[in-house]
């Protein structure tokens, strides 16, 4: 007697589940309604979970999105594409953001891509500020491209993917000072940050934990925070350079901490913790170092290395 009731209920549930298999069309239509207006608007999703099977196009000039869990189920491309591509540029001063957003994805797609492909309009900034955003399980958690500068990120977590923050090579009008305040970059298989375009980053009170490599840098980076990893067998931080731009540099505050768990000074696995690849790489590290080193010492390479008090660094 109960089975028909159960099956009837199941029949009612399945169509509803299928109807929610993709919320992207309705959400994109909601955003397009904002884009058709004459001023920016706020889309507050009240903590709802939205399933996306196609890229959601976000115009940073016109919309703020708040309070949602986004399940990103596409098999290629990116989940959120933040750009003014295809939209008229109004050239008004607005500040919009993603706030209270969680993105869940897979390693065949990127989480958030900020990019504007136009080569002639150098007034466009395709950036959005991120407030309390969690980006989980993507190939590139946050990918930064052309006409993106001054990206501000507060209490952002990027983890369990391949690369946490990725800056695309060969970008134009991109990279002016971006600030990452608080937050954690963790458990990314390849790197916490792979910086391919001489970007400028400030990390303030940020943790880099247990990434395949912590940082690959080709621009100027300042860092205050916590760095921790296992003894991976390769340098945790690598400084390089690109042709015609300032060399990659890392300036760490005196209060920053660097730890390699399980490091055995008698049998180190990695050549060093920080590696410079060119003599004009600069690195400033805390005056007191504890708990890391390698077959060549704590720092290796031809670059200039000093401690926070300005004294020449010695591996001994």
DSSP, residue by residue, 163-232:
EEEEE-TT-SS----EEEES-EEE--SSEEEEE-S---EEEEEEEEES-SSSEEESSEEEEEEEEEEE--
Model confidence pLDDT, tens digit, residues 67-112: 999 999 999 999 999 999 988 777 666 789 999 999 999 999 999 9
Q: Which of 36-50, 177-191, 291-305 shows the lowest mean pLDDT across its residues?
A: 291-305
pLDDT of residue 273: 86
The model's confidence at residue 268, banded by pLDDT at 50, 70 and 90, is confident
- Rounded Cα distance, 130 and 104, in Å: 16
Is it the case that residue 62 has pLDDT exceeding 80?
A: yes
Which residues have CB under 8 Å from 25's CB, separation 6+? none
* Phi, psi angle pair for 241, to nearest 5°: -165, 160
- Rounded Cα distance, 160 and 210, in Å: 10
pLDDT of residue 18: 43
Is it the case that residue 48 has pLDDT exceeding 80?
A: yes
Q: Are 294 and 260 in contact (CB under 8 A)?
A: no
Distances (CA, A) of 283 to 73, 235, 309: 41, 14, 12
pLDDT of residue 178: 96
What percent of the chain lies above the pLDDT cut of 90?
A: 59
* Phi, psi angle pair for 268, to nearest 5°: -70, 145
Element (H, E) at 102: strand 97-104
Model confidence pLDDT, tens digit, residues 237-267: 999 988 878 888 999 998 888 888 887 888 8
Is it the case that residue 167 has pLDDT exceeding 70?
A: yes
The model's confidence at residue 6, banded by pLDDT at 50, 70 and 90, is very low
pTM of the model: 0.90
Greater model confidence, 279 or 39 = 279
pLDDT of residue 107: 98
pLDDT of residue 159: 98
- Rounded Cα distance, 129 and 127, in Å: 7
Token pair for residue 233?
């067998």
- Rounded Cα distance, 305 and 309, in Å: 12
* Phi, psi angle pair for 29, to nearest 5°: -65, -35
b/e burial code for range 214-243 (CB count within 10 A of at least 16 → b): bbbbbbbbbbbbbbbbebeeebbbbbbbbe
pLDDT of residue 265: 80
Model confidence pLDDT, tens digit, residues 199-238: 999 999 999 999 999 999 999 999 999 999 988 888 999 9
Is it the case that residue 192 has pLDDT exceeding 80?
A: yes
């Amino acid at each position: 007697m109960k089975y028909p009731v159960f099956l009837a209920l199941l029949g009612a549930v399945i169509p509803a589940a299928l109807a929610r298999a993709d919320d992207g069309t309705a959400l994109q239509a909601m955003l397009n309604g904002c884009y058709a207006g004459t001023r920016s608007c706020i889309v507050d999703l009240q903590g709802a979970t939205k399933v996306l099977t196609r890229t959601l196009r976000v115009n940073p000039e016109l919309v703020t999105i708040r309070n949602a869990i986004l399940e990103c189920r596409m098999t290629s491309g990116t989940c959120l594409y933040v750009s003014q591509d295809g939209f008229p540029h109004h050239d008004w001063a607005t500040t919009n953001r993603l706030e209270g957003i969680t993105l869940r994805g897979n390693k065949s797609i990127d989480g958030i891509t900020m990019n504007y492909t136009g080569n002639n309009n150098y007034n466009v900034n395709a950036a959005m500020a991120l407030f309390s955003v969690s980006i989980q399980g993507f190939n590139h958690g946050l990918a930064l491209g052309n006409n993106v500068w001054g990206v501000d990120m507060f209490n952002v977590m990027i983890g369990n993917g391949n690369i946490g923050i990725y800056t695309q090579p060969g970008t134009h009008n991109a990279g002016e000072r971006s600030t990452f305040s608080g937050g954690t970059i963790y458990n990314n298989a390849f790197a916490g940050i792979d910086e391919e375009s001489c970007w400028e980053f400030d990390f303030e009170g940020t943790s880099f934990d247990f990434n395949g490599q912590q940082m690959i840098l080709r621009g100027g980076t300042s860092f205050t925070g916590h760095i921790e990893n296992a003894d991976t067998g390769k340098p945790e931080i690598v400084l390089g350079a690109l042709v015609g731009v300032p060399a990659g540099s890392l300036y760490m505050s005196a209060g920053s901490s660097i730890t390699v768990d399980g490091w055995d000074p008698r049998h180190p696995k990695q050549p060093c913790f920080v590696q410079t690849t060119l003599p004009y790489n600069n690195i400033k590290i805390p005056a007191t170092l504890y708990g890391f080193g390698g077959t060549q010492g704590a720092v290796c390479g031809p670059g200039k290395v000093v401690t926070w008090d300005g004294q020449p660094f010695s591996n001994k």
